[in-house]
Amino acid sequence: MPLLSQDKINRLPERAREVVEYRKSGLSLNHIQGCSLGCSYCIRHTYGLWDENQPRALMSDAEAVEELVAHRYFQPHVTPIQLFNRATEPFLPKVRPHTFAVLENLDARELTNHVLVITRHKLTDDDADQLNQLRHLKVTLLFTYSGIDNPKIEPYPSHIAAESLKLMSAPEVRKYRTVLYWRPLVPGLNDTDEHLATAFELSKHADATVFTGLFYRGEIAEYYKANGIPEPYEGTARRKIVPETLERRVLDAFSSTTALFRKTSCAVSYAHGLPDYNGHVGIRELCDICPLSQLERCLNAHRVPSAEQVRDVARVLPEARELEVVDITGRAAVVSGLWEEQPRYFLQHALGFQVHDERHPHHANRHGRADIGWKGTPA
- Contact set with ligand SF4 (CB under 6 A): 261, 263, 266, 269-270, 276, 280-281, 286-287, 290, 294-295, 298
By beta-carbon proximity to ligand SF4, the closer residue of 177 and 280 is: 280
Minimum CB separation from ligand SF4 for residue 22, in Å? Answer: 20
Measured over all CA atoms, what is the biggest interatomic distance in the chain, rounded to whole angstroms?
A: 55
Minimum CB separation from ligand SF4 for residue 276, in Å? Answer: 4
By beta-carbon proximity to ligand SF4, the closer residue of 161 and 328 is: 328
Minimum CB separation from ligand SF4 for residue 325, in Å? Answer: 22
By beta-carbon proximity to ligand SF4, the closer residue of 12 and 281 is: 281
Whether the CB-CB separation of 303 and 324 falls below 8 Å is answered with no
Minimum CB separation from ligand SF4 for residue 290, in Å? Answer: 3
Minimum CB separation from ligand SF4 for residue 286, in Å? Answer: 5
Backbone phi, psi, residue 281, to 5°:
-65, -20
Amino acid symbol at 186: V
Angle at which helix 96-108 crosses helix 125-132, to 10 degrees, equals 20
Minimum CB separation from ligand SF4 for residue 165, in Å? Answer: 20
By beta-carbon proximity to ligand SF4, the closer residue of 92 and 286 is: 286
Minimum CB separation from ligand SF4 for residue 288, in Å? Answer: 8
By beta-carbon proximity to ligand SF4, the closer residue of 42 and 142 is: 142
Minimum CB separation from ligand SF4 for residue 298, in Å? Answer: 3
* d(C-alpha 78, C-alpha 287), whole Å: 23
By beta-carbon proximity to ligand SF4, the closer residue of 167 and 301 is: 301
Amino acid symbol at 267: A
Measuring CA to CA, which residue among 131, 137, 120, 365 is closest to residue 268? 137
By beta-carbon proximity to ligand SF4, the closer residue of 41 and 277 is: 277
By beta-carbon proximity to ligand SF4, the closer residue of 59 and 289 is: 289
